[in-house]
Structure 1
Amino acid sequence: MGRRIMEWAARSDYMGGIPRKMVIMAVGGLAKAVVSLLNNTTVHNADTLLRLVRSRPPGVPLVTVSNHMSTMDDPFLWGFKGFPITDAKLSRWALAAEDICFKSSMLSYFFRLGKCIPITRGGGIYQEHMNEALERLSEGEWLHTFPEGKVSQEDAPIRRLKWGTASLIARAPVTPIVLPIVHSGFEQVMPENFYRGKRPPFPLWNKNIKIIVGEPMELDLPKMRQMAMSLSRNISHPTLGWPSTCPGGLDEAAQRCLYNAISEKIQNVMETLRTFARSFSKSKDQNLC
């Protein structure tokens, strides 16, 4: 087993859970202030997200996926009115870039208390911390990911998704509920190129934020595995030494086909939500005229 960065600080029983509660309450309070008070936020279908966070079936994990518009998407994405962002027990786990959020001991400690799992970009889908994310899913937890892999502030179609999220969905012992979310406005709250190519020192205000929550996706994984095995027989790729995965014991070629199929399906749904968000915004603007 490889090294896991400060895993002890991420445990719920670390110091009685008090440091985690303090961090999540502080960060959640900031997110509430920015999103609910300082900016104009519209949320579509919030009830679906709230229901799945608060009362999904016991032992069933939740995976939320969204586009990535700014470095502050998480936690701001959960700062809208009515969301229990300051509740440490209900709070999401999140995959976070190791080179940004874990580049010092102090940052590592802070983000670990905030239920973040470090991911080495380019480190592959079988890196040690992906196994940690899989463990959280096996415990029925909620995990949020940005499957595009990096921030993009352009008004552009959803980019081709990385396979990490798809691999977690496919490998989880209990198939997660997958909920897509698309948002806009955080690129104005925290622009990448605010002054001389740098971000602002604090979040901006009086911007319009829109959060579109989709519906849980229907992923027939047994059927998708069978399809992947069938397709992979005719495809040859250089191997990376991936282990066979359960259930199904898929070889590397079949895994590639499966993860690509899951990723494409999620990408298509997210792009549909993005298109809806744009038409939703235009109709609201027209009604105001």
Structure 2
Amino acid sequence: MNPRENKVQELVYGKYTLKAHAYFREKALAQDSLWWYPFSKAVISSTSFASSVFLKSVFKDIHITGVDQFAKILKDESRVASIITYSNHISTFDDPLLWGSLPKYIRSNPDFMRWTLGAKELTFINPPLTAFFALGQVIPTVRGAGIYQDAIRFAQAKIEQKKWVCFLL
């Protein structure tokens, strides 16, 4: 961690939240716990299901061009590179709402779902939210701390693992 990250953490978070940050960061990076996959699947599936229901109840018809090709790329086990996307978002709901538009077989499998950077001071504010967002594959990012921070190294590790990483601008 860089000095700015340390300073922000010392001022904002309680000791249990800091312990949760460290614990879930380690588990998210390794994804080797027996419980990680089912809990991550539960968070991602329930969030994307709620998003899907919301989208279908608010909009009569949703058509997304290219979603089949994108899903095919995500599922391709012989893929030799990661997938990097970016999205210009206007609210904190943009990302989870997009999940609702993906095919069920994609949004119910954490291996196919994206990892994204999220503002640590908004999403990782206590142990329950830290668990929820970590299991939802959000990487805690300290805004203003620059590119030499743990979140960027974490995203780089996911890119090296050939995962889908989405940057929200």
**Fold shared, TM-score > 0.5 on shorter chain:** yes
- Alignment partner of 1:29 out of 46, 49, 52: 49
Determine if the alignment matches structure 1 residue 130 to structure 2 residue 152. Answer: yes
Structure 1: 5+ residue stretches without partners: 148-289
Distance in 1 between the 2:31 and 2:159 partners?
A: 15
**TM-score w.r.t. length of structure 1:** 0.47
Deviation at 1:91, TM superposition (A): 1.1
**TM-score w.r.t. length of structure 2:** 0.77
Distance in 2 between the 1:144 and 1:120 partners?
A: 16
Q: Is the 8 A contact 1:8 1:14 kept in 2?
A: no
Which has the larger Rg?
A: 1
Distance in 2 between the 1:71 and 1:141 partners?
A: 22
Instruction: Give the letter aligned to residue 55 of structure 2.
Output: V
Residues 234-268 of structure 1, C-alpha deviations (whole Å, 9 max, x = no match): xxxxxxxxxxxxxxxxxxxxxxxxxxxxxxxxxxx
- Alignment partner of 1:68 out of 84, 89, 96: 89
Deviation at 1:58, TM superposition (A): 2.9
Equivalent position of 1:141 in the other structure: 163
- Alignment partner of 1:55 out of 70, 76, 79: 76
My pick for the range that moved more, 72-81 or 40-49, is 40-49
Which has the larger share of helix? Answer: 2
Determine if the alignment matches structure 1 residue 103 to structure 2 residue 121. Answer: no
Q: How does 1:233-272 map to 2 (within 5 A)?
A: none
Instruction: Give the letter aligned to residue 139 of structure 2.
Output: I
Deviation at 1:57, TM superposition (A): 4.1
Equivalent position of 1:89 in the other structure: 111
Residues 192-245 of structure 1, C-alpha deviations (whole Å, 9 max, x = no match): xxxxxxxxxxxxxxxxxxxxxxxxxxxxxxxxxxxxxxxxxxxxxxxxxxxxxx
User: Quick one: structure 1 residues 93 and 34, their matched pair in 2 at CA, closer, same or farther if it must change by over 3 Å?
Assistant: same
Equivalent position of 2:99 in the other structure: 78
User: Quick one: structure 1 residues 70 and 109, their matched pair in 2 at CA, closer, same or farther if it must change by over 3 Å?
Assistant: same
Structure with larger RCO (C-alpha < 8 A, sep 6+) = 2
Q: Is the 8 A contact 2:118 2:139 kept in 1?
A: yes
User: Quick one: structure 1 residues 36 and 13, their matched pair in 2 at CA, closer, same or farther if it must change by over 3 Å?
Assistant: farther
Instruction: Give the letter aligned to residue 146 of structure 1.
Output: L
1:15 aligns to what SS in structure 2?
coil
How many residues align structurally? Answer: 147
Structure 2: 5+ residue stretches without partners: 7-20
1:42 aligns to what SS in structure 2?
coil
Equivalent position of 1:7 in the other structure: 25
Percentage of matched positions with identical amino acids: 27
Distance in 2 between the 1:36 and 1:81 partners?
A: 12
Deviation at 1:34, TM superposition (A): 1.4
